[in-house]
Amino acid sequence: MFERVKAARERLRGYANVTPVMTSRILNELLGIEVFLKCENFQRVGAFKFRGAFNTISQLTDHQKERGIITYSSGNHAQAVALVGQLLGIRTTVVMPNNAPRVKRAATEGYGAAVIEYDPEEATREEMAELLRAEHGYTIIPPFDHLDIIAGQGTAAFEMFEELKTLDMLLVPCGGGGLLSGSAIATKSIEPSCQVIGIEPELADDAARSFHTKTLHTVKNPPTIADGTRTPSLGKLTFPLVLEYVDDMRTVTETAIVEAVQYLFYRMKIVVEPSGALGLAALLSGAVSASGRVGVIISGGNVDGDMMSKILLTE
């Protein structure tokens, strides 16, 4: 599987941003460790999702490209697929919940995708995408449960090790498990001793429960502020990969997520969406106890102004 990650790294050259790794002396002193933040909020579309989307879509056949592509997403993957469709001249359709963040929907449409809205209380996005695929012959580009998506996401951790050479621990946000499993594959292939820990909100802890019980758990529309982690469960591919390559799963409270977003904004001057701040939330709240050199993947920065204002005003 690591060969797929390395191939994805080459495929993405010249298309994906090599995102910066940021540090903070104040943060290091506060935690008593060296923290390295891989800032995927500076990736194209403002999130790591561009990596997997480009790696997957660029490998489609000419016939598949002519028929068009479809995906389902609350936002970041939708934007990524839409942008890749624009770059490669492919007609793109996105199935998106009616409660998706406005900034993410607007960006998706801005990249030229047709957005099909659905009510998550009445239907599943997978069912709607499948109906449209059957009707129009689209190729489905799933958000996380696809080997090329997983390999593309793993290039974020690959880049970290290219720059930093060594880490004692890597903290990765977890929704459907694409970023987590891809990052864990890359990490364990490069530095097997590095501990890889997935971080979820307490209110959307299906992956943590699945990891600790070795049985797949699901959650329906969890009310977490971290909208990127509202996936119902790990996937058929990501679940066994997480079990194989990830060392532990931890959860953080909504308060911890808010405080991490605030810290990143006020102290480090970067805008990070709640899902992207999960790793730092785990460190600041003590949900994870770490030592040495700790990598944290900041997965994205797409957050509505209204939501960001609410977060920053929370005491």
What confidence tens digit (pLDDT) does each residue in 72-86 have?
887 789 999 999 999
Q: What is the mean pLDDT of residues 168-181?
A: 97
The model's confidence at residue 147, banded by pLDDT at 50, 70 and 90, is very high
Give every CB contact of residue 114 below 8 A, 6+ residues apart in sequence: 92, 93, 94
What pLDDT, on a 0 to 100 scale, did the predictor assign at position 202? Answer: 96
Catalytic-residue membership of 165: no
The pLDDT tens digits for 84-119 are: 999 999 999 999 888 777 777 888 899 999 998 888
Looking at the predicted structure, is the pLDDT value of residue 293 above 80?
Answer: yes
Looking at the predicted structure, is the pLDDT value of residue 36 above 90?
Answer: yes
Bridge partners, residue 300, by sequence: 47
Neighbours of 268 (CB within 10 A): 18
Catalytic-residue membership of 210: no
Surface-to-core class of residue 134, CB atoms within 10 Å of its CB (0-12 exposed, 13-18 middle, 19+ buried): exposed
**Active-site pick, 193, 214, 299, 310:** 299
Residue pair 239/177 in contact by the 8 Å Cβ criterion: yes
What pLDDT, on a 0 to 100 scale, did the predictor assign at position 134? Answer: 86
Among the listed residues 211, 197, 220, the one whose alpha carbon sits nearest the alpha carbon of residue 278? 197
Amino acid identity of residue 31, one-letter, is L
Among the listed residues 64, 66, 69, 74, the one whose alpha carbon sits nearest the alpha carbon of residue 53? 69
What pLDDT, on a 0 to 100 scale, did the predictor assign at position 87? Answer: 95
Surface-to-core class of residue 276, CB atoms within 10 Å of its CB (0-12 exposed, 13-18 middle, 19+ buried): buried
What pLDDT, on a 0 to 100 scale, did the predictor assign at position 168? Answer: 98
The pLDDT tens digits for 126-141 are: 888 888 888 899 999 9
Give every CB contact of residue 204 below 8 A, 6+ residues apart in sequence: 175, 219, 222, 224, 226, 229, 230
Residue pair 34/23 in contact by the 8 Å Cβ criterion: yes
65, two tokens:
């490209």
Percent of the chain topping pLDDT 70:
100
The model's confidence at residue 56, banded by pLDDT at 50, 70 and 90, is very high
What pLDDT, on a 0 to 100 scale, did the predictor assign at position 175? Answer: 93
State how far the Cα of 134 lies from the Cα of 141, in Å rounded to an integer: 14
What pLDDT, on a 0 to 100 scale, did the predictor assign at position 33? Answer: 98
Looking at the predicted structure, is the pLDDT value of residue 123 above 80?
Answer: no
Residue pair 194/188 in contact by the 8 Å Cβ criterion: yes
State how far the Cα of 69 lies from the Cα of 256, in Å rounded to an integer: 37
- State the average pLDDT for the chain: 94
Residue pair 198/239 in contact by the 8 Å Cβ criterion: no
The pLDDT tens digits for 178-200 are: 999 999 999 999 999 999 999 99
Neighbours of 37 (CB within 10 A): 27
268, two tokens:
């480090």
State how far the Cα of 170 lies from the Cα of 102, in Å rounded to an integer: 31
Percent of the chain topping pLDDT 90:
81
The model's confidence at residue 46, banded by pLDDT at 50, 70 and 90, is very high
What pLDDT, on a 0 to 100 scale, did the predictor assign at position 104? Answer: 75
Q: Using the structure block, give the residue that is written with the tokens 């997520």.
A: 257
Q: What is the mean pLDDT of residues 159-167?
A: 97
**Active-site pick, 38, 49, 104, 188:** 49
Among the listed residues 191, 173, 180, the one whose alpha carbon sits nearest the alpha carbon of residue 287? 173
